[in-house]
Amino acid sequence: MARKRSRNTLRLRYVVLAIILVAAAVMAYGYGETFRVEIKEYHFSHSDLPQAFSGVRVAFVSDIHRGPFFSQKRVRALVERVSSLNPDVTVLGGDYVYLGTKYADSCFAELAHLRAPLGRFAVLGNHDYESGANESQPGPQATIKAAKKAGITLLQNQGVWLEKDKERVRLAGVTDYSVDKPNLQLALGDAAAKDFVLLVSHNPDFAEEVPNGAVDLVLSGHTHGGQITFFGLWAPYVPSNYGQKYRTGLVSRDSLTVIVSNGIGTSTIPPLRMGARPQIVLVTLERP
């Protein structure tokens, strides 16, 4: 009887040890994936695009989450990686900080080194509104100030005309859908139906409120690709009102196309990713 009890105890120890080893391996893989930034390329063709803009490359970076788990050094490396792609336009999709806007200055000190001949633009994400304890500037003011100091144009329900060879496209940006009040009409300005419009919205759910024909392409982040997924196919949790629809990648809604990036950083403690590698999105615009 004692021998049987001893064998059972030994088996239990082996089972517990196996569980611990598997859990450690999963955690190690998940942590390692947070560093495996990929370049996700898209080619987007649309008849509204002026010929002068055919071939223009747009780099899109979202959800850096500079904070305790994403150092200034990593932001610097990210900037170098983006710059190596030689984009014509660089667009930043929000959530520059995590666990407090006190990290905004160090994040934008590196983002200031981004280079793009047609400009560098940004919108705010929900975490950019969240001040940490004892921070002197409430809400997004620290992030707004840091972006301005870096010389990056922040679009808050605003838009700009990008011009090339006497032709132009509209780049519009809205405030965060979950914590603010996006206003598409203000962002579109005097853009007409025949104009090519690229909209940047941190939260992809806002695409559901875009009137058909008003915008040609939306760039979004926020969902992190689900961050923790089953083999990149399904995520138990996606911060969206539309389930898996806007988890990641190319999404079509009527005549509107939405590209959702996995983003760069994480919003879990400890920082983990599973089947949702961090991404720099590179979109090449084309005229049919």
Global pTM reads 0.92
Contact 258, 204 (CB under 8 A): yes
For the chain, what is the largest distance between any 2 Cα atoms, rounded to a whole number of angstroms? 91
| Confidence label for 120 from pLDDT (cuts 50, 70 and 90) | very high
Per-residue pLDDT, averaged over 186-190, amounts to 97
Q: Which residues of 135-164 are buried (b: 16+ CB within 10 A; e: fewer)?
A: eeeebbbbbbebbeebebebbbbbbbebee
| Confidence label for 132 from pLDDT (cuts 50, 70 and 90) | low
The architecture CATH gives domain 37-286: 4-Layer Sandwich (3.60)
Contact 251, 13 (CB under 8 A): no
Per-residue pLDDT, averaged over 235-252, amounts to 97
Angle, CA of 56, 60 and 66, to the nearest 5°:
155
| Confidence label for 206 from pLDDT (cuts 50, 70 and 90) | very high
Name the residue ranges covered by the structural domains of the chain: 1-33, 37-286
pLDDT of 78 > 90? The answer is yes
Write down the pLDDT at residue 127.
95
